[in-house]
Amino acid sequence: DADVTQTPRNRITKTGKRIMLECSQTKGHDRMYWYRQDPGLGLRLIYYSFDVKDINKGEISDGYSVSRQAQAKFSLSLESAIPNQTALYFCATSARTGGTEAFFGQGTRLTVV
């Protein structure tokens, strides 16, 4: 089983719908992140969380919200999806100590029509 699991892997949704992407990890890491990846733009940080009670905005948080339900679970919500949120979304984790190496999930491909 993967250390960082994202669900769903693929999702097509309509404009205006609320959608939640989920991430769970078995690495025991405190830190969790949500990124989106777009062709030509690379990976951009949406939100990050250092522990259950610490959630911070990244560089592109508008239109997104997150919830850290437990140390192992971090979900990303699009309150009202719009077409330019079509992208590949990645969850990642890192340890509090020992460096910032990130461990990524397999990604969720989201299409908003």
Partner 1 sequence: TQLLEQSPQFLSIQEGENLTVYCNSSSVFSSLQWYRQEPGEGPVLLVTVVTGGEVKKLKRLTFQFGDARKDSSLHITAAQPGDTGLYLCAGAGGGGSNYKLTFGKGTLLTVNP
**Which chain residues interact with partner 1 by CB under 8 A?**
4, 31, 35, 40-45, 48, 50, 90, 92, 94, 99-107
Instruction: Kindly tell me which of 17 and 60 has the beta carbon lying closer to partner 1.
Output: 60
Read off the amino acid at residue 64: Y
Count the alpha carbons within 13 Å of 71 in the hemisphere toward its beta carbon: 8
Q: Are strands 19-25 and 42-51 parallel, antiparallel or unpaired?
A: unpaired
Instruction: Kindly tell me which of 10 and 18 has the beta carbon lying closer to partner 1.
Output: 10
| Contacts of residue 101, Cβ cutoff 8 Å, sequence gap at least 6 | 94, 95
Distance of closest approach, residue 100 Cβ to partner 1, in angstroms: 4
Distance of closest approach, residue 11 Cβ to partner 1, in angstroms: 15
For residue 65, with 0-12 CB atoms within 10 Å meaning exposed, 13-18 middle and 19 or more buried, which class applies?
middle
Instruction: Kindly tell me which of 15 and 111 has the beta carbon lying closer to partner 1.
Output: 111
Instruction: Kindly tell me which of 75 and 94 has the beta carbon lying closer to partner 1.
Output: 94
Distance of closest approach, residue 80 Cβ to partner 1, in angstroms: 27
